[in-house]
Amino acid sequence: MRKSILLIAMVLVSASLSAQDRKQKDSEWEQKFEQLGAELPTPNVYRTASGAPGHQYWQQKADYQMKIKLDDSNQSITGSETITYYNNSPDNLEYLWVQLDQNVRANDSDSPLIRSSNMRDTLQSYEVFRLTGDADYDGGFKIKSVKSIGIGMDYTINKTMMRIDLDQPLMSGENMTFSIDWMYFINNRKTDGGRSGLEYFPDEDNYLYTIAQFFPRMAVYIDNEGWQNKQFLGRGEFALTFGDYDVELTVPSDFIVGATGLLQNPKEVLTSEQIKRYEQAQKSYEKPVLIVTQEEAEENEKTKATGTKTWKYKAENVRDYAFCASRKFIWDAMAVKLSEGNEPMAMSYYPKEGNPLWEDFSTYAVKQTLETYSKFTIEYTYPVAISVHTASIGMEYPMICFNYGRPDADGTYSDRKKHGMISVIIHEVGHNFFPMIINSDERQWTWMDEGLNTFVQYLTEQEFDDNYLDYEYPSRRGPAAKIVPYMSGENGLVRPIMTNSEQIRQFGSNAYAKPATALNLLRTTVMGPELFDKAFKTYAERWAFKHPTPADLFRTMEDASAVDLDWFWRGWFYGTDYVDVDLADVRWFQMQTEENGLETRKIKGAGKGIDGKKEKGQKDFGSDPQPFVFEEFSSSWSEYRQATDFDKIRQSAEGQNFYELTLKNQGGLVTPVIVEWTYVDGSTELEKIPAEIWRFNEKEVKKVFIKEKEVAKIVIDPDQMTADAYTDNNVFPRVEEGDRFEKFKEKNK
């Protein structure tokens, strides 16, 4: 009896485990086409289920008046700013949060503490410097005062955030004005790092300043999160509020200054000849006009003026502010005609060290970027777009960006350096659209600006080669095949795109390359350019000068196209699977007739004989076809028997080739299947099967194709449009599965 009970218990345990395994297996199979509803936030009056802003959508506004002084003698910036903050939310605010991004370099910053490091037998100088730090550099903001109507306000600084307590709550619909006085010492980017700072040129003892994150900035208060006061640790970039800027920049009198906004006092800061050239550039559409020539810049950097000049700029409806300043600058500009009455200026500022590369290409790249992005998103609405050259950087701000691309000392440069420079200029100027206009939260989601921007960068590069190069542009990111090494990489190193900016591993691949590839694949392979372009433009138009979230993008793309994309977002953005479609088996059939007596035989998918190379005893495609018998009567058709022309059905199948393909999803990521048929007469045909082919079985499907011609070869994804990781198993007849495939399978267990 005890043995029977034990046996029953074992059976019950086994049954329980089987049920659990089955439940887990069913869950795995169901998740890839499950709707995203549970993962996306609930729609409301602020953000609708369609992905559009709701009828009660709101956002805050912050206007700035700033007086800034750049001291070239001790490399410091002193500022006085007045902020008018508009509370357009339905909430009453008891305190405000202000970002102090320069504090990432303060002595008590968390950034060095959380940066992992390790020792080796040999360390290079820059590695030692990173470990020891710069003991002589006193970084971070020095806050002198925070006042409202001349009265000091209570504030608390927590690392890179400052909380300002209000005597009275700022009520919904009201605004308030307060001022902050501050200063900080500018970081040397070569030694101290950073997105902005100075570059020193020892030969002539001169500095080139690219200045950003240089003033206390209002944090975002938003409907879906409240205050976005996540600390700045150095990687996750910025969440910012739109506003108008009135800025006075006081610099040495021999400096040239470029900045966010439109120059208000050219007659006070430019020579009469420079003003003449500046006005000429506003009507030059084919080539840039040199406002400051290289000869003039070289002469200017030989001496240092003792006086100062104040450059005045204004900018409307921007989310941030930045500027560049140096006595070394060459300056060129041209007009870009986007539409009647909308002709923004494309400009470049660069030292002589950037030539001849910068004079030849920079402003043309700015122009192409404005044209292409305006076509695919919204028309550029700001009056100027500026590219500034300084060493080893690529960073973006409204209307201005800082870019690398320096030739060798003798002026020569490689194609790689040229393409790298053009690409980084396109990318950083493109950030005017993502996130400067379509204002996503970079602190949370790097991919929403970097990934979308890299995608349109790829489209721009392809148009740049049409206009300025006589060869195909070698884009580094965008084409599906280029993401394969990352997506099929070592387990544990790949994280979902939907990962917070500070937790991403392999940052460039995850936040730039994979989302850009996903969108390019979505455009070319899933939706088609016409549907995709309309939906993507709808997203840009809906969220221009607003604060979109990932859900707003996902929902808009479906809403504007009538294409169910939940499986796509789930697989590409929420998961870490990769594409690997295995053409595991092919069977060839013809209908049995009285004239032929075909032997019943399966054609093995692993049969060789590719490209007409026959093995001993084997035909081009393995063997003769397997017969199937035509049967007229079927119980399921019994009610339609009298109305069915069986002879016609038989005739339609007679002489046709029926090919049953077995497809296995080895990588786990569901995907459209592109099939290329090569016939024995040498002709080819391409067919695309939507990803929904996997909806009932995400691991293996069979599908029958009927062809008039006899097939000699079948290839899945012949042009590498789906990011298929292992292409040797895409071919029938099969090629050898050598060591490479075995290592691939072992790595991805």
Tens digit of each residue's pLDDT (9 = 90 or more) over 697-734 = 999 999 999 999 999 999 999 999 999 999 999 999 97
Please identify which residue in the block is written with the tokens 């490399």. 75
Position 641 scores a pLDDT of: 61
Q: What is the average pLDDT score of the chain? A: 89
* Residues of the chain above pLDDT 90, percent: 77
| CA 723 – CA 726 distance, rounded (Å) | 9
Position 624 scores a pLDDT of: 75
Tens digit of each residue's pLDDT (9 = 90 or more) over 546-594 = 999 999 999 999 999 999 999 999 999 999 999 999 999 999 999 877 6
Both tokens of 693, joined, read 């082919």
User: Is residue 58 scored above 60 in pLDDT?
Assistant: yes
Position 126 scores a pLDDT of: 61
User: Is residue 675 scored above 70 in pLDDT?
Assistant: yes
Position 132 scores a pLDDT of: 65
Contact criterion met (CB below 8 Å) for 558 and 52: no
Tens digit of each residue's pLDDT (9 = 90 or more) over 398-449 = 999 999 999 999 999 999 999 999 999 999 999 999 999 999 999 999 999 9
Among the residue ranges 22-31, 286-295, 300-309, 348-357, the one predicted with the least confidence is 22-31
Position 617 scores a pLDDT of: 29
| CA 615 – CA 587 distance, rounded (Å) | 19
Tell me the average pLDDT across 535-543: 98
Confidence of residue 201 (pLDDT cuts 50, 70, 90): very high
| CA 653 – CA 647 distance, rounded (Å) | 10
| CA 32 – CA 59 distance, rounded (Å) | 35
* Residue 57: C-alpha distances to residues 47, 143, 174, 206, 240 (Å): 7, 35, 17, 49, 17
User: Is residue 240 scored above 60 in pLDDT?
Assistant: yes
User: Is residue 118 scored above 90 in pLDDT?
Assistant: no
User: Is residue 116 scored above 90 in pLDDT?
Assistant: no
| CA 468 – CA 449 distance, rounded (Å) | 27
* Residue 732: C-alpha distances to residues 90, 214, 612, 686, 724 (Å): 63, 61, 12, 15, 16
| CA 374 – CA 468 distance, rounded (Å) | 19
Both tokens of 164, joined, read 């300002």
Contact criterion met (CB below 8 Å) for 159 and 231: yes
The CA-based angle 340-278-342, given to 5 degrees, is 15
B/e letters for 624-658, b = 16+ CB within 10 Å, e = fewer, are ebbbeeeeeeeeeeeeeeeeeeeeeeeeebeeebb
Using a 10 angstrom Cβ sphere, with 0-12 exposed, 13-18 middle and 19 or more buried, the burial of residue 541 is middle
Among the residue ranges 4-8, 60-64, 450-454, the one predicted with the least confidence is 4-8
Both tokens of 551, joined, read 């859900």
B/e letters for 14-25, b = 16+ CB within 10 Å, e = fewer, are eeeeeeeeeeee
Contact criterion met (CB below 8 Å) for 344 and 370: yes
DSSP secondary structure string, 642-700? GG--HHHHHHHHTT-EEEEEEEEESSB----EEEEEEETTS-EEEEEE-GGGGSS-SSE
Collapsing DSSP to helix, strand or coil, 1 comes out as coil
The CA-based angle 432-447-527, given to 5 degrees, is 90
Tens digit of each residue's pLDDT (9 = 90 or more) over 24-54 = 444 455 589 999 988 999 999 999 999 999 9
Confidence of residue 159 (pLDDT cuts 50, 70, 90): very high
The CA-based angle 741-744-745, given to 5 degrees, is 90
Contact criterion met (CB below 8 Å) for 480 and 723: yes
User: Is residue 605 scored above 80 in pLDDT?
Assistant: no
Determine which helix (DSSP H) or strand (DSSP E) holds 334, and give its type and residue range.
strand 330-335
